[in-house]
Amino acid sequence: MDNANKKDRLTREIVVAGVDLRGIWPVDTIEERISDILNRMKNTYVFEPDLICLPETFQTSWVREESRTEDIAEDENIPGPVTSIIAEEARKQQCYIVCPLVTKSNDNYYNSAILLNRMGEIDGVYHKAHLVPSEIENGKLKPGTLKPPVFETDFGKLGMQICYDANWFDCWEHLKKEGAEIICFPSQAPFINVLKYHAWINQAYIVSSTGEGARIIDITGDELAVSGQFERWVCEKINLEKVLIHVWPYIRKVKDIRERYRDKINIEIYHPENWITIESRHPEVKVHDILEEYEIYTFDGHLKKNEEVQNEYRI
């Protein structure tokens, strides 16, 4: 992406970033891993990110130094050693950072992702809901709630899922119901295709940072950025003033919308999928106002409306 300054961004346009662990594993000590992850994060700073997501339990994954859960777990409310280091980066860069690590609360341990705000303060925590059995049996970890929190940030609503959570749909559906616009996904494995599905079915951007790759996925399921052998990090602009709608019957209104709003909007038609995206490119244009003006339902609203008709006649 280009190096456009924050002042050049649209009203709800933000820059999100992720890093992966490839090329910096294995290492001997936690200290080495933290140093490496900080160096990798610094590549994104030139783009002035609003949000950075780090990989699942990044400080201990593929680290030869032995560590017990009770020794590495950090308090969820009072920043511990690792949280404090990442919080300092959040303060310096004035960005949100998702810091995944093992946490402790009320004598329980969790595989967690802590949300640090632009001041480096803890805004909240998500506990991985669907643990691998070895995390429970050997790591003494507890699974989190099936109704994960949605965090209010200064740019929109943020949710989180961690690694093995990708194989279930309950928490993702809850995040959608609660209005999550971005879902951060710290993980060990990349879960590429299933994340594309989660992005589309929930119409949420996904920022994925894993042991093997990092990627940013659009609300349509398309990949906007993917890390690779030359850059083990991703950084991309996303526009939260964007909506997915069904192609029919609304395609008949696209010409009029384009003529009225011209370069103040961007419309893309996904012909094989029967989708359309409408995106605002002007601070005074809100996509939901356009939908209301032209009596267009969102994709989910359209399906719900159709389902009501189906149920009326279902035998």
CA–CA separation, 93 and 103 (whole Å): 24
How far from chain centre, in Å, is Cα 223? 13
Residue 235: per-residue pLDDT: 98
State the Cα–Cα distance between residues 181 and 186, nearest whole angstrom. Answer: 17
Two tokens, residue 60: 């201990």
What are the sequence ranges of the domains in the chain? Answer: 6-239, 242-313
pLDDT at 4: 62
The single-letter code of the amino acid at 301 is: G
Distance CA 186, CA 150 (A): 16
Residue 184 · residue 238 · CB < 8 Å: no
| Number of H-type helices and E-type strands within the chain | 9, 16
End-to-end CA distance of the chain: 53
Per-residue confidence of the chain (315 residues) as pLDDT tens digits? Answer: 777 677 789 999 999 999 999 999 899 999 999 999 999 999 999 999 999 999 999 999 999 998 999 999 999 999 999 999 999 999 999 999 999 999 999 999 999 999 999 999 999 999 999 999 999 999 899 999 999 999 999 999 999 999 999 999 999 999 999 999 999 999 999 999 999 999 999 999 999 999 999 999 999 999 999 999 999 999 999 999 999 999 999 999 999 999 999 999 999 999 999 999 999 999 999 999 999 999 999 999 999 999 999 999 999
Measured CA to CA, the distance from residue 157 to residue 123 in angstroms comes to: 13
pLDDT of res. 8: 83
Q: Which of 302, 293, 197 is nearest to 249 (CA)?
A: 302
CATH superfamily of 6-239: Carbon-nitrogen hydrolase (3.60.110.10)
What pLDDT is attached to residue 268? 98
